[in-house]
Amino acid sequence: MRSRTLLALPVGLGAVALLGACSSTIEVSDLEEQVNNAVIGGSDADCGDENVEPEEGMTHTCTITAGGEEFEAILHFTEGNDNEWNFEVEIPELDG
């Protein structure tokens, strides 16, 4: 079982805007950078190898490493356009 102290590290995640390069595709490296910036205390995100074409209401799963532990992070794209997308990060292991 994981320590509650370590699980407290990622608290503070929320909506983050992404800037696209004149298209609706987000480079995976930009997505990972934004996820890392959203995690208090820092993290190392792995969001896969393929760029993301977000749509409102879609989800994308990343793996983040924070505090020496690995967590699944589910990104919920909430709104956006070709230049900017907002998403919220959910870490199911921290719910409850």
So what's the pLDDT on residue 58?
A: 93
So what's the pLDDT on residue 24?
A: 73
Measured CA to CA in angstroms, residue 82 lies from 8, 26, 46, 78, 93 at distances of 34, 9, 23, 14, 32
Encoded tokens for 86 = 């907002």
Report the predicted TM-score, pTM, of the whole model to 2 decimal places. 0.75
So what's the pLDDT on residue 95?
A: 66
For the segment 8-60, what is each residue's pLDDT rounded down to a tens digit?
333 333 444 455 445 578 888 888 988 888 777 778 999 999 988 888 999 99
